[in-house]
Chain A
Amino acid sequence: MHMQATSEYLFLIRGVTSYEALSPDEMQSEIQKFMSWVDGLKNQGALKTGQPLFAEGRVVTGSKAHGVSDGPFVETKEAVGGYLLIEADSLEEAVEMAKTCPVLSLGLYLEVRPVAERCPLMVDEGDLAEATA
C-alpha cells in the first residue's frame, strides 16, 4: 500500500460578503487579517497556490438557445470568490486550518474538498505485479 504523508485539499471561498458595509478603515484591517492568515499557511508550508476570482465571467451551458450568459453573480450564495490549494495530513487538519480563516466573520464560508490524486478504483500495473508475484 502506498502511504502518502500529505494530501491536497481545495478551499473554495464562497458566499455573500458584507464588504460593502465595511468602512475603508475596517477594510484595511480585514486585509491585514486575511494576509496574516495566508502568510501563516505559507510559513507552515501548507499553501501550494491560491488566487482570487473576479465576478465578471460567463456561464456556459450546452443549451442551444442560451449557451453562454453573463454570470455568475456575486449576490448568490454559491458564488466562488477565490480558491486556495492546501497541503495537509488529513481532512480534519485541513478543516482546522479553514476554521481560522478571517473571511468567515464577513459572511463567507469555506468549502473544503479533498483533491482526488488517484482514483481509488484504478490499480497500478506495478501493484498488480507485486500482488501476483
Chain B
Amino acid sequence: MPADVPPAQADREVALIADHLFREEAGKLVSVLTRIFGVERLQMAEDVVQEALIRALHTWPFHGVPANPAAWITQTAKNLALDRIRREKLLRSKESEISDFSERWSSQFGAGEVPIQSEIEDSRLRMIFVCCHPSIPEDAQASLALKTLCGFGTGEIASAFLTSEAAIAKRLTRARQKLRDDNVPYEIPSGEDLGDRVDGVLKTIYLLFNEGYKASSGESLIRKELCAEAIRLGMLVAQHRSGDRPRTHALLALMLLNSARLGARTDPAGSLVRLESQDRSVWDQETIARGLRHLGLSASGGELSWAHLQAAIAALHCTAKDYESTDWRGILALYDDLMRLDGSPVVALNRAVAVAHVHGPKAGIEAVEAIRNRDSLESYHLLYAVMAEFEVQLNDFDAAAEHLRTALKFTETASEREHLSKKLHTCGLHRQA
C-alpha cells in the first residue's frame, strides 16, 4: 500500500447530513408539488420526491454531500417533475403545463430558488386539511399525514401503529383514491366550514400524539417520535391565521405538557413509572413553559373544549412540586367539567382518582361504582388497579390483592405487568404482617 497517502485525505471525515433532513425535506416537497400538480396527482408528487432522494443516494457518496443539501434535493425534485411532465403522453399541451409548473414553482420558491417560507407553510397547511378531509376514513388520516407531510415511510408508519406494512399501504392507496374520487380541493377551508375542519385536524393530530405517548420502551423509537411529529403539526396549524384558534392552542398545551414528562415515565430498566413516583427533576421545564404559554393563548374566546380541560389538568400536574401537594381540588373541578362534555367511563375513572385525593379512598370507591356504562371498562386493567389502590389505602389488602390479580389478567404491556406484580407482592407482605 502506498505510504505517501496525503494526510488531508486520511483525516477527512465523512460529511454528516443533519438528522432527519431527508424526512423533513420530503414532507415539505410533497406538499409543494401537490399544490402544483393537484391533489389527484398526489402519488406522482410522492414518486418525484422519492426519486430525488434516490438520486442523492446514488450520487452523494461519490461526489460528496452538497453545500446546501436541502436546496440540492429541491432543485432535483423540480427537474424530475419537469421531466415527468414532458414524458406524460396524455397532456394535450405540454408547453403550457410546463410554463404553469414553472410559474407555480416560482410562487413557492421565488426566482432564486430560495423558498418563500410563508408560501411553503401555506402549502403544508393545505396538505393537513387534505389529509384530514372528512371523506378520508379516520384511521387513514393520520397515516396519510405521516406519509405525505412528515416524510415517514410505509414501514415506519406500520411500526408506529403496530400494524402491517401491507395494511398501511392499502389504507394509503384507498385514501388517495378517495381524494381523486371526491375531488378534494387543495385549499384551506373558509367560512362556516373552517371551525369543524380545524376540529377534525386537531382530532387526528391528538390521535397521533396518543399513539406516541402510550408507546412503551422496547417498542420502536418511531412510536415515540409520533409525539414530536404531532406537536410539529399542531404548531403548523397554530401559526397560520386559519388555524390560530383557542382550541388549537389548548391541544398544543396538552401535548407539550404531557410530552414534557415523557422522560420520567420509564425508569432506566424500561418499566413504567406512575405519576406519583416520577422523578420530577427530569421533567422538561422548557417544554412545560411552552405548554403553559399555549394554555394562556387558549384562554380567549370563552370556549371550554375537552382540549382546554385536559390541558388545564395537565398544567396542574406539571406545576405541582410533588404528587401530594398537587391541587387535587382544582383537578376534580376540571374533571367535573370534563364529565359534562364527555362523560366517558375512562374520564370518570380518572375523576374517581381525583375524588379519592380530595375526599378519601371510600369516596373514590363509591365514585368508581357510580360510573355509568362501567361494562366497557370490564377488561380495562386500570379499573382494577385504581380499585386496588383505594383498598390499600383502606388497609384491606385481601380486596386489593383480588383486584390486582384481575388487573394482571388484562394488562397488555410487560412494564405494566411488572408494576402490578410488585404491588401484588407488597400486598402479600402486608397480609402476612
Residues of A within 8 A of B (CB): 6, 19-28, 30-32, 34-39, 42-46, 50-52, 81-82, 89
- Asked if B14 and A36 sit within 8 Å, CB to CB, the answer is yes
CB pair B62 A24 closer than 8 Å:
no
Task: Please determine whether B1 and A34 come into contact, CB atoms closer than 8 angstroms.
Answer: no
Contacting pair A45 B26 (CB below 8 A): no
Q: Which of B54, B62, B155 has a CB less than 8 Å from the CB of A23?
A: B155
Question: How distant is the Cα of A52 from the Cα of B63 in the complex, in angstroms?
Answer: 9
Q: Across chains A and B, which 10 residue pairs bring their CB atoms closest together, nearest first?
A: A23-B153, A24-B22, A34-B61, A28-B22, A24-B26, A24-B23, A45-B5, A35-B61, A19-B54, A52-B58
Complex A-B: 15 CB contacts under 8 Å: A19-B57, A21-B155, A23-B152, A23-B153, A24-B152, A24-B153, A27-B56, A27-B57, A31-B17, A31-B56, A31-B61, A34-B61, A39-B14, A52-B62, A82-B62
Hey, which chain B residues are within 8 Å of A42, CB to CB?
9, 12
Across-interface contacts of A20 in B (CB, < 8 A): 50, 54
Please tell me if B59 contacts chain A, counting CB pairs below 8 Å.
Answer: yes
Q: How far is the CA of A38 from the CA of B14 in the complex (A)?
A: 9
Chain B residues lying within 8 Å of A82, measured Cβ to Cβ, are: 58, 62
Is B21 part of the contact surface with A, judged by Cβ < 8 Å?
yes
Q: Is the CB of A25 within 8 A of B62?
A: no
Residues of B near A24 (CB, < 8 A) are: 22-23, 25-26, 53, 151-153
Does B416 have its Cβ within 8 Å of any Cβ on chain A?
Answer: no
Q: Is B67 an interface residue (CB 8 A)?
A: no
A27 touches B22 (CB 8 A): yes
In the bound complex, do residue B58 and residue A81 qualify as a contact, i.e. CB atoms below 8 Å apart? yes
Report the nearest A residue to B60, measured CB to CB. Answer: A31
Residues of the A chain whose Cβ atoms lie less than 8 Å from the Cβ of B301:
none
By CB atoms of chain B within 10 A, which of A25, A27, A36 has the most?
A25
How far, in whole Å, are A25 and B156 apart by their CA atoms in the complex?
9
Task: Render B49-84 as a binary contact track against A, CB cut-off 8 A, 1 for contact.
Answer: 010011011111110010000000000000000000
Where chain B touches its partner, the secondary structure class is helix
Give every chain A residue within 8 A of B50 (Cβ-Cβ).
Answer: 20
Q: Which residues of B contact A26 (CB under 8 A)?
A: 153
Known: A25-B22, A27-B53, A89-B1. 16 other contacts (CB 8 A): A6-B1, A6-B2, A23-B155, A24-B26, A24-B153, A25-B153, A27-B57, A28-B21, A31-B57, A34-B57, A35-B65, A36-B14, A39-B14, A42-B12, A51-B62, A82-B58
- The complex places the Cα of A50 from the Cα of B152 at a distance, in Å, of 31
Instruction: Select from chain A the residue with minimum beta-carbon distance to B24.
Output: A24
Across the interface, which residues of B come within 8 angstroms of A36, CB to CB? 14
Instruction: Report Cα–Cα, A25/B154, bound state, in Å.
Output: 12
B16 at the A/B interface (Cβ < 8 Å)? Answer: yes
A86 to chain B, nearest CB (A): 12
CB nearest neighbor in B for A35 = B61
Chain A nearest CB: distance from B19 CB in Å? 8
**Chain A residue nearest in CB terms to B53:** A27
Bound: A30/B26 CA distance, A: 16
A36 to B57 CA separation, bound complex (whole angstroms):
13
Q: What residues of chain B lie closer than 8 Å to A38, measured between beta carbons? A: 61-62
**A36, B62: Cα distance in complex, Å:** 11
CA distance A35 to B9 in the complex (A): 14
Contact assessment for B59 and A52 in the assembled complex, using a CB-CB cutoff below 8 Å: yes
Contact of A25 among B5, B14, B20, B61 (CB under 8 A): B20
CB distance from B370 to the nearest CB of A (A): 48
- Contact (Cβ within 8 A) B54 A27: yes
Report the bound CA distance from A34 to B152 in whole Å.
22
**Does B153 contact A35, Cβ atoms closer than 8 Å?**
no
Given contacts A26-B153, A43-B5, contact A35 B53 (CB under 8 A): no
Q: How far is the CB of B64 from chain A (nearest CB, A)?
A: 8
Q: Can you list, as one digit per residue, whether each of B206-217 has a CB less than 8 Å from chain A (1) or not (0)?
A: 000000000000
Q: Note all chain A residues with C-beta closer than 8 A to B1.
A: 6, 44-46, 89
